[in-house]
């Protein structure tokens, strides 16, 4: 697609990158078929092709309105369109650039600004989030049903094995996961311990930066990335750990792209690339041989998060681990579609997110599983809020003896 960039972005790194991406789009529309928001809303401007057109116009200097911003806001950044696109259009990168431009040229209403600022200030801070969640648990009986569904009961993580192996890996406690589901990392530590690997967490390691970056506080998101690199760097640089293991695919896709996000930062460029190179999803560290079980363990439906299957392009690995451990995988239709969680999306666009969740739960439950497994804490809490079938992280299922 031929693009004439406007003066404000011509010959900038973002402009050059956006132009190279736009050039690849041939406007064929294959991506619309796999776009969840197009499926729900039926408007071409809520499809990848429509949004690409809106961003191209914005980058060419055409007037940008609140409506332009709304169509970009409604995008889940699920990147299903990247998986579908036969021309290799990197939509995820383009929408980061497009959103920053559109944000700078429009002004949100005071209520919306306050809501987004509140999310950006509270969610990435583990202690603040933990305190808010504790209050929410106290007030749970008084909360409206929609909010009550977002406040899970307290979970007991169980024992974390003391480091005893020569092989060591770092885990990220994360900003919301450590309060919402502390059992995930503890289960990962136990399973890895049995496989001869000690899992450790670095003190002071907080949010990966995805939350603020995708709320369009992009520079603040980069600050979170730099802070996390600082917390991890002594262990990464000394060679004490051989890898960084991500138990939330939403954080994993972000940390794997630190090298890209911080490419323009002279001080952090190399460190960021090194951290990205060390990072892998938990399913890339474990092998079926490590988790092989000797007995049948029941039926599971696996919900593969977009950040795993589209963002990180990892498919089939978790399913292979679950099968090796003795689980029967039930079939799931339209497995490529987002469940509606998408970071803060379910809080900002509850109607679309609710519709996507209903469709996803119907697909997951079609094979009558005893449990639904996922690989990301955001999807887990979103699905759990409306599911009669228990929803767990897949590593918790491998932790069952
Ligand atoms: S993003 Fe890819 S699939 Fe979608 S319209 Fe452009 S070329 Fe076609
Ligand atoms: S990222 Fe997802 S929601 Fe956004 S345009 Fe692509 S397929 Fe649609």
Q: Which residue has the higher pLDDT, 126 or 78?
A: 78
Domains: count for the chain: 2
Sign of the alpha-carbon dihedral angle for 358, 364, 368, 371 = negative
- Name which residue sits closest to atom 4 of ligand 2, judged by CA: 75
Buried b / exposed e over 10-25, threshold 16 CB at 10 Å, is eeeebbebbbebbeeb
Ligand 1 probe mutation, 81, 92, 93, most atoms within 8 A of CB: 81
User: Vertex 373, ends 205 and 303: CA angle to 5°?
Assistant: 95
240 touches 269 (CB < 8 A): no
pLDDT tens for each residue of 20-33: 999 999 999 999 99
- Answer yes or no: is pLDDT of 366 > 80: yes
- Answer yes or no: is pLDDT of 262 > 90: yes
Sign of the alpha-carbon dihedral angle for 137, 139, 141, 143 = negative
Residues 242-260 have a mean pLDDT of: 98
CB atoms within 10 A of CB 245: 26
pLDDT tens for each residue of 37-86: 999 999 999 999 999 999 999 999 999 999 999 999 999 999 999 999 99
Predicted pLDDT at 375: 98
Q: How far is the CA of 305 from the centre of ligand 1 (A)?
A: 22
Domain limits for position 63: 13-105
Among 57, 89, 105, identify where a domain stops. 105
- Answer yes or no: is pLDDT of 149 > 80: no
Q: Tell me the pTM.
A: 0.95
3-class state of residue 120 by DSSP: helix
- Answer yes or no: is pLDDT of 155 > 80: no
Q: How far is the CA of 72 from the centre of ligand 1 (A)?
A: 16
Predicted pLDDT at 177: 87
3-class state of residue 286 by DSSP: coil
Among 69, 87, 105, identify where a domain stops. 105
Predicted pLDDT at 130: 86
> Is position 129 within any domain?
no
Q: What is the CATH number of the domain that holds 342?
A: 3.40.50.1860
> Is position 132 within any domain?
no
Residues 112-119 have a mean pLDDT of: 95
Q: What is the CATH number of the domain that holds 84?
A: 1.10.1060.10
Q: At what angle do helices 110-122 and 126-138 cross, to 10 degrees?
A: 110
Most confidently modeled of 148-152, 329-333, 346-350? 329-333
> Is position 372 within any domain?
yes
> Is position 56 within any domain?
yes
In 3D, which of 351, 356, 361 has the Cα closest to residue 386?
Answer: 361
**DSSP letters spanning 307-352:** IIIIIS---SHHHHHHHHTTEEEPP-TTTTS--S-TTTHHHHSHHH
Predicted pLDDT at 268: 98
Distance of CA 113 to the CA centre of its chain: 23
Q: How far is the CA of 48 from the centre of ligand 1 (A)?
A: 7
pLDDT tens for each residue of 270-290: 999 999 999 999 999 999 999
Q: Is residue 135 packed enough to be buried (19+ CB in 10 Å), middle (13-18) or exposed (0-12)?
A: exposed
Average pLDDT over the chain reads 95
Bridge partner residues of 301 (DSSP): 372
Nearest listed ligand to the Cα of residue 34: 2
From residue 206, give the alpha-carbon distance in Å to each of 50, 220, 401. Answer: 36, 13, 31
**C-alpha span between 34 and 232 (Å, rounded):** 37
Ligand 1 probe mutation, 3, 22, 49, most atoms within 8 A of CB: 49
154 HSE (CA, 13 A, CB side): 10
Q: Which residue has the higher pLDDT, 67 or 175?
A: 67
Pocket of ligand 2 (CB under 6 A): 35-37, 48, 51, 75-81, 91
> Is position 378 within any domain?
yes
Predicted pLDDT at 147: 72
Among 88, 105, 122, identify where a domain stops. 105
Predicted pLDDT at 359: 98
From residue 110, give the alpha-carbon distance in Å to each of 104, 113, 115, 122, 264. Answer: 16, 5, 9, 18, 32
> Is position 193 within any domain?
no
pLDDT tens for each residue of 315-339: 999 999 999 999 999 999 999 999 9
> Is position 287 within any domain?
no
Ligand 1 contact, 32 CB (< 6 A): no
Q: How far is the CA of 57 from the centre of ligand 1 (A)?
A: 16
For 186, residues 6+ apart whose C-beta sits below 8 A from its C-beta are 157, 158, 159, 160
CB atoms within 10 A of CB 277: 14
Residues 101-126 have a mean pLDDT of: 94
Beta strands in 156-283 (DSSP E): 168-171, 198-201, 243-246, 279-281
> Is position 204 within any domain?
no
Ligand 1 contact, 33 CB (< 6 A): no
- Name which residue sits closest to atom 7 of ligand 2, judged by CA: 35
Residues 220-225 have a mean pLDDT of: 97
């Amino acid at each position: 697609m031929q693009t004439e960039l406007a003066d404000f972005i011509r010959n900038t790194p973002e402009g050059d990158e956006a132009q190279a991406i736009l050039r690849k789009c041939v406007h064929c529309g294959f991506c619309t078929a796999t776009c969840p928001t197009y499926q729900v809303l039926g408007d071409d401007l809520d499809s990848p092709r429509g949004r690409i057109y809106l961003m191209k116009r914005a980058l060419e200097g055409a007037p940008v309105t609140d409506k332009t911003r709304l169509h970009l806001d409604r995008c889940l950044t699920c990147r299903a369109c990247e998986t579908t696109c036969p021309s290799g259009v990197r939509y995820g990168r383009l929408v980061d650039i497009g959103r920053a431009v559109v944000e700078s040229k429009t002004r949100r209403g005071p209520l919306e600004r306050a809501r987004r600022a509140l999310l950006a200030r509270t969610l990435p801070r583990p202690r603040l989030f933990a305190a808010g969640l504790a209050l929410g648990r106290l007030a749970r009986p008084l909360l409206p049903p929609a909010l009550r569904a977002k406040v899970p009961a307290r979970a007991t993580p169980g024992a974390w094995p003391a480091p005893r192996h020569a092989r060591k890996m770092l885990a990220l406690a994360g900003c919301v996961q450590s309060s919402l589901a502390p059992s995930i990392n503890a289960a990962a530590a136990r399973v890895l311990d049995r496989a001869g690997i000690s899992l450790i967490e670095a003190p002071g390691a907080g949010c990966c930066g995805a939350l603020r970056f995708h709320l369009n506080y992009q520079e603040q998101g980069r600050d979170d990335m730099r802070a996390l690199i600082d917390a991890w760097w002594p262990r990464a640089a000394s060679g004490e750990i051989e890898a960084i293991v991500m138990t939330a695919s939403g954080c994993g896709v972000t940390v794997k792209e630190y090298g890209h996000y911080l490419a323009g930062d002279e001080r952090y460029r190399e460190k960021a690339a090194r951290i990205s190179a060390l990072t892998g999803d938990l399913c890339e560290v474990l092998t079926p041989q490590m988790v092989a079980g000797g007995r049948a363990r029941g039926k599971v439906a696996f919900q593969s998060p977009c950040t795993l299957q589209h963002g990180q392009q990892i498919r089939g690995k978790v399913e292979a681990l679950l099968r090796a451990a003795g689980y029967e995988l039930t079939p799931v239709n339209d497995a490529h579609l987002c469940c509606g969680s998408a970071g803060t999306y379910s809080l900002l666009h509850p109607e679309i997110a609710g519709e996507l969740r209903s469709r996803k739960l119907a697909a997951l439950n079609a094979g009558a599983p005893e449990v639904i497994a996922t690989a990301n804490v955001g999807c887990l809490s979103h699905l759990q809020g409306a599911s009669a079938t228990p929803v767990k992280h897949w590593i918790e299922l491998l932790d069952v003896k």
